[in-house]
């Protein structure tokens, strides 16, 4: 009986450890350098260019309104997010810039497709309008 209790306890501990560490690994860790980075582009400047870049590079997965319902969304494994949500909009511009630039999992890296940082900042500014 004691052996069975020990096995059950070890199982519970192992399951708890796995659940906790897998949650931590799934989170998108943004380096502080980017979290605290200031957006150098006026948020009202060149929104049409930001929209054009979003339409070209982001809309196929994230959708026209940023709901994560683009035509390619069904092919993706992760949560594509809802750009209009308080959770998404609560992120700093620097965090969004980092995620847009470097990607993770199904989200591709865009530093080669869009080597100009200004283009990615314009997309960040456009994504802010999706909450309106």
State yes or no: pLDDT of 5 exceeds 70: no
pLDDT digits (tens, 9 = 90+) for 56-114: 999 999 999 999 999 999 999 888 889 999 999 999 999 999 999 999 999 999 999 99
Packing angle, helices 47-57 and 117-129, rounded to 10: 100
pLDDT at 25: 38
Three-state DSSP state, 74: helix
d(CA 105, CA 114): 18
pLDDT at 57: 96
d(CA 69, CA 72): 8
Query: 78: alpha, beta or left, given left = phi > 0 and alpha = psi -120 to 50?
Result: beta
d(CA 97, CA 102): 9
State yes or no: pLDDT of 54 exceeds 60: yes
pLDDT at 1: 65
* pTM given for the model: 0.78
Fold of 31-129: Cytochrome Bc1 Complex; Chain D, domain 2 (1.10.760)
pLDDT digits (tens, 9 = 90+) for 9-29: 554 554 444 433 333 335 889
Q: Where in the chain are the domains?
A: 1-29, 31-129
pLDDT at 122: 98
Tokens of 71: 């035509």
């Amino acid at each position: 009986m004691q052996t069975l209790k020990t096995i059950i306890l070890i199982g519970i501990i192992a399951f708890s450890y796995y659940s906790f560490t897998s949650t931590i690994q799934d989170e998108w860790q943004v380096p502080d350098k980017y979290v605290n980075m200031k957006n150098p582009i006026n948020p009202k400047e060149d929104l049409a260019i930001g929209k054009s870049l979003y339409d070209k590079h982001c809309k196929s997965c994230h959708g026209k309104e940023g709901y994560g319902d683009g035509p390619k969304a069904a092919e993706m494994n992760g949560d594509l997010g809802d750009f209009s949500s308080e959770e998404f909009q609560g992120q700093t511009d620097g965090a969004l810039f980092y995620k847009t630039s470097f990607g993770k999992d199904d989200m591709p890296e865009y530093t080669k497709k869009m080597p100009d940082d200004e283009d990615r900042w314009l997309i960040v500014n456009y994504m802010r309008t999706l909450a309106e």
